[in-house]
Chains A and B, each alone.
Chain A
């Protein structure tokens, strides 16, 4: 297959690394207005800085751009190529997502996958296998914490630019946890939420506290943060017959700690000594193949026209509905427009422009 990567930032590089090792991929082209051919060490890769996007040379497209051009590029890629892998979030807001969904609806037999790779992390897949009939019984509650520290140059990143990003940490990183909640509980609705821009003062939430419930009434709580000075990923799953706690992520930097899953089984009948302190097993994982898995599933679907099972349009819709509803519940617009927000060194817009159509 001939793959086209649109956007060669952090995610574009990850996709490139996976694609160049994939046996079905014969050619990789990259389009990025900020990457010059001479500066990139990309042997055998076509670069088209400043030129029209060569849709006609692609069998599959990877949209790895900043949020403000995602929807337009994704919709056009669907129309021109029909097989699209789009990074999360699927646009800046509900309107952006709707544009993608409308484009997809107009293209029969398209393949569209969104990059919700956390579903495919080994700790999450193991947790999914153990809940319900997997032994631990029905889920009683979910509690997720996902956050990062931002870093010295946080404000210079496009993610801190309200116009480009469309949302704060909830849309950027918290959306992964929302997707995991959906994976475990199905559709959720927002019961309440609090957003604050407590530290970074970018006019976007740097902390989100969201309370949700599933259609069966199971509660779920998310803390998404850009001020967790110790990078944290923690998903607690309380079940009728035990509990699970997924912590750490096998990320590239390793800053989220060793990926592990604590498996505890409820013990209180006739086991007084174990009351409140049941036996636990801790499973450690040493390899994250989530990137490979999701790209492989996408490419197989793109080649064979078979449906995908993860990161589908419906999965994206559920996540974006929750983000939309949280922003509606909290009156986020008021927070974004607060005085002084525009004078805080928010960066210039990079040169990503709305779609360049071929002449």
Chain B
């Protein structure tokens, strides 16, 4: 298995500035409350390792549970899948509208969010000596990544599939075209049943096929430091915030062989710093405050350390379906 670190740097403002995020976040939270307003089902056990979840706390009145074994965070109660699918679709459309901050940062996000992911997929395909695979992207459409994938020339075809449909219509999915690679960009963070989504992906993947997953992980520095104070932790985008251990365990449990588990994030310290600038009284330890306020060299060295040791909050995982 391999892990990767990177020397790429860019500011938080280039992809998800905290001040602009808050409006989008408020929309997401309001729509989630609406979706969860009726009948909901509580999540009792951690999908990654089966351990009984314990209560962790609320984000804007929405309760998160925590796995005591691996530290993964789960939105504690969810409505019927059809309602959740509708929520994800609405949020995705909003994200791609002119009302969300993403619209102003389209080029910057392409350069700093999507292009590196494309390069990661390209390099991995080369390392695995897989040329021009048929690729499935699981997402709640629309997706900014689909056109990039298509234009890259990396793939023979790109099939964009609704992530909730893939999770909840396994029969229909099994009858569809087999692919050699599947891409789940933060998809496991959003869907109501990550285990079912991985099962759906597995059905579509040919033996030997590759699974690409990115996720925000609770074991990373900024999420671990800020906990539920972290403004980047909200449903439905972060309905599930697995730890790196939990994410790896879940993917392995679904039968994938792990080829890469990395946390090449570059923004952990800056995320904490942005929160402290917005709320100077936020509860963080003296040591954490020292780190965040340290000189550029110290901050960069620490971020490199987080990457190298799997302790950043941005995770990448590559799995291979056996066979």
Contacts and interface: CB of A to CB of B under 8 A. Distances in A.
6 A-B pairs with the lowest CB-CB distances in the bound complex, closest first:
A280-B7, A284-B3, A134-B126, A282-B5, A129-B127, A279-B8
A284 B126 CA distance: 17
B136 to A, nearest CB: 23
Contacts of B126: 129-130, 134-135
| Main secondary structure on A side of the interface with B | mixed
B308 interface: yes
Nearest to A264: B7
6 contacts: A126-B127, A279-B6, A280-B7, A282-B6, A283-B2, A285-B2
A263 interface: yes
A285 B2 CA distance: 4
Interface of B: 1-8, 122-123, 126-129, 264, 308
Contact of B3 (A130, A134, A283): A283
Contacts of B123: 130, 135, 263, 281
A38 B109 CA distance: 68
A279 B5 CA distance: 11
A284 B7 contact: no
A159 B95 CA distance: 67
Nearest to B5: A282
A286 interface: yes
Interface in A270-301: 279-287
A87 B8 CA distance: 42
B6 A284 contact: no
Given A126-B127, A130-B127, A284-B3, 18 more contacts: A122-B2, A126-B2, A129-B126, A129-B129, A130-B123, A134-B126, A135-B123, A279-B6, A279-B8, A281-B4, A281-B6, A281-B7, A284-B2, A284-B5, A284-B308, A285-B2, A286-B2, A287-B1
Size bracket of the A interface: 10 to 19
Contact of B122 (A135, A279, A285, A286): A135
Contacts of B128: 129
B4 A284 contact: yes
Contacts of B5: 281-282, 284
Contact of B1 (A130, A134, A135, A286): A286
A157 to B, nearest CB: 34
A282 B126 CA distance: 16
Nearest to A285: B2
B7 to A, nearest CB: 5
B297 to A, nearest CB: 15
Contacts of B308: 282, 284
A282 B263 CA distance: 12
Contact of A286 (B3, B7, B127, B129): B3
B264 to A, nearest CB: 8
Contacts of B127: 126, 129-130
A310 to B, nearest CB: 15
A157 B3 CA distance: 38
B296 to A, nearest CB: 15
Interface in A126-144: 126, 129-130, 134-135
A230 B319 CA distance: 35
B310 to A, nearest CB: 10
A272 to B, nearest CB: 16
Contacts of A285: 1-2
A135 B6 CA distance: 18
Residue of B3, B122, B126, B127 with most chain A CB atoms under a 10 A cut-off: B127
Contacts of A130: 123, 126-127
Interface string A57-81: 0000000000000000000000000
Contacts of A286: 1-3
Contacts of A263: 123
A92 to B, nearest CB: 37
A282 B5 CA distance: 5
A134 B126 CA distance: 6
B243 to A, nearest CB: 18
Nearest to B9: A279
B181 to A, nearest CB: 16
Contacts of B3: 283-284, 286
A317 B127 CA distance: 28
A284 to B, nearest CB: 5
Nearest to A136: B126
